[in-house]
């Protein structure tokens, strides 16, 4: 596990007043959930459900897509489950190119706090670069400083990238998938279907607009921000209000369905626990309705353009 990570360090400050590492090796065990990272907590319900549903799927990682996305075949749809917070800029470029601009790929974000930090990789080896670099204060990032000498203080996140990197000085998550990270919200709160959900997404589910999807909102949640403004035609798939953050502030969560003019289609569910609604034990204890798996299947069909 090491003694430093991107949140804290116990081996000295890498810069005055900074108590987190700027670079971490990938050659370490993953601590959460007994060494498996968050795979069993986050992605496993999706993996199991897709396998039992006989979907034609293949698997890659954020890491591979952040280094050489051009080596990947362009799929009908790409799905992110769980907590994909750290992306390389090439990954965001690839998604913008195919999902937003060309419209030849769908995107499903079945988690929250996705694509927040703009990261990069270094120290190439025969298996690829093994060091993840993330400066959460862009003033401390020599690469960003060199690209933008007039840089002032802000986080090194996609929503605040400096100096017009690629096409815009800011590339918020919401510009791609309709919502962006909002809050850490402990517990499980009922998510309610929006009142304008298209009938095609509810077909065969037994669900109606405005009904509860059970206690699947929570963990970390995304919401619709006023900047950038929502795209015309964005549909609120589900929402939860009156949430309380870990610090005691009020918060909300939203899931969004989006169609780009290019033909690209996106679903972003805005909560950590959507995928757990596909697990029978969790569903029974959190009042997840029987039609929830059918709703998720309809969302996959929408993303894939079917």
The CATH number covering residue 44 comes to 3.40.50
The answer on 305 and 257 residing in a single domain is: yes
CB 291 within 8 A of CB 278: no
Same domain, 174 and 218: yes
Q: Are 112 and 124 in contact (CB under 8 A)?
A: no
Q: What is residue 167's predicted lDDT score, i.e. its pLDDT?
A: 41
Report d(CA 106, CA 97) in Å as an integer: 11
Q: CB-based burial of residue 226 (10 Å sphere; 0-12 exposed, 13-18 middle, 19+ buried)? A: exposed
> How many domains, in total, are found in the chain?
2
**Residue numbers of the domain that contains 203:** 39-116+157-306
Q: What is the pLDDT of residue 157?
A: 87
Q: Are strands 180-193 and 235-244 parallel, antiparallel or unpaired?
A: antiparallel
Specify whether 268 is located in the same domain as 138.
no
Q: Are 134 and 3 found together in one domain? A: yes
Number of neighbouring beta carbons within 10 Å of residue 93:
17
> Distance between CA 229 and CA 212 in Å, rounded?
27
* 242 in the same domain as 103: yes
- Taking the CA atoms of residue 84, residue 86, residue 89 and residue 93 in that order, the dihedral angle to the nearest 10 degrees is 10
The token duo for 239 is 């929402």
The whole-angstrom separation of Cα 261 and Cα 101 is: 8
pLDDT in tens, the chain (306 residues): 457 788 888 777 888 888 898 988 888 777 666 556 788 888 999 999 999 998 999 999 999 999 989 888 899 999 999 889 999 989 999 999 999 999 999 999 999 999 999 899 988 777 778 899 998 887 788 887 777 777 665 668 888 766 655 444 578 999 999 999 999 999 999 999 999 999 999 999 999 999 999 999 999 999 999 877 889 889 999 999 999 999 999 999 999 999 999 999 999 999 999 999 999 999 999 999 999 999 999 999 999 998
Are 167 and 304 found together in one domain? yes
In sequence order, the 6+-apart residues with CB closer than 8 A to the CB of 82 are 38, 39, 41, 42, 43, 110, 111, 272, 275
Cα 287 from Cα 284, distance rounded (Å): 6
User: pTM, whole model, 2 decimals?
Assistant: 0.92
Nearest to 276, CA basis, from 81, 106, 85:
81
Long-range (24+ apart) CB contacts under 8 A made by 69-78 are 69/93, 69/94, 70/94, 74/98, 74/104, 74/105, 75/105, 76/105, 76/106, 76/304, 76/305, 77/105, 77/106, 77/107, 77/108, 77/300, 77/303, 77/304, 78/105, 78/106, 78/107, 78/108
* Phi, psi dihedrals of residue 225, rounded to the nearest 5°: -95, 160
Q: Say if residue 278 is in the same domain as residue 137.
A: no
Q: Give the per-residue pLDDT at 32.
A: 66
Identify whether residues 92 and 241 lie together within a single domain. Answer: yes
Residues 167, 249 within the same domain: yes
Instruction: Answer yes or no: do 49 and 178 share one domain.
Output: yes
pLDDT at 35: 58
Clarify whether residues 82 and 108 are in a common domain.
yes
Q: Which two tokens stand for residue 10?
A: 């116990």
- Residues 178, 231, single domain; the answer is yes
């Amino acid at each position: 596990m090491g003694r430093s990570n991107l949140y804290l360090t116990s081996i000295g400050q890498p810069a005055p007043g900074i108590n987190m590492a700027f670079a971490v090796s990938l050659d370490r065990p993953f601590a959460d959930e007994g060494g498996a990272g968050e795979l069993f907590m986050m992605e496993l319900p999706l993996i199991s459900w897709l396998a039992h549903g006989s979907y034609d799927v293949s698997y890659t990682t954020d890491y591979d897509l952040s280094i050489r996305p051009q080596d990947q075949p362009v799929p009908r749809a790409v799905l992110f489950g769980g907590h994909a917070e750290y992306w390389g800029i090439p990954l965001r470029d690839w998604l913008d190119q195919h999902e937003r601009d060309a419209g030849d790929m769908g995107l499903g974000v079945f988690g929250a706090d996705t694509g927040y930090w703009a990261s990069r990789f270094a120290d190439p080896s025969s298996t690829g670069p093994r060091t993840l670099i993330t400066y959460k204060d862009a003033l401390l990032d020599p690469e960003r400083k060199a690209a933008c000498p007039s840089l002032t203080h802000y986080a090194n996140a996609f929503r605040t990238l400096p100096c017009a990197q690629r096409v815009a000085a800011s590339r918020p998550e919401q510009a791609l998938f309709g919502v962006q990270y909002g809050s850490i919200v402990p517990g499980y709160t009922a998510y309610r279907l929006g009142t304008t959900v298209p009938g095609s997404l509810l077909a065969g589910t037994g669900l109606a607009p405005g009904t509860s999807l059970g206690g699947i909102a929570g963990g970390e949640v995304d919401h619709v921000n006023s900047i950038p403004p929502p795209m015309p035609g964005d549909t609120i798939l589900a929402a939860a209000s009156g949430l309380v953050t870990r610090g005691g502030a009020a918060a909300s969560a939203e899931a969004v369905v989006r169609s780009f003019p290019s033909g690209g289609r996106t679903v972003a569910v805005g909560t950590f626990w959507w995928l757990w609604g596909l697990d029978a034990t969790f569903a029974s204890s959190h009042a997840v309705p029987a039609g929830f798996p059918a709703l998720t299947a309809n969302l996959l069909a929408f993303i894939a353009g079917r």
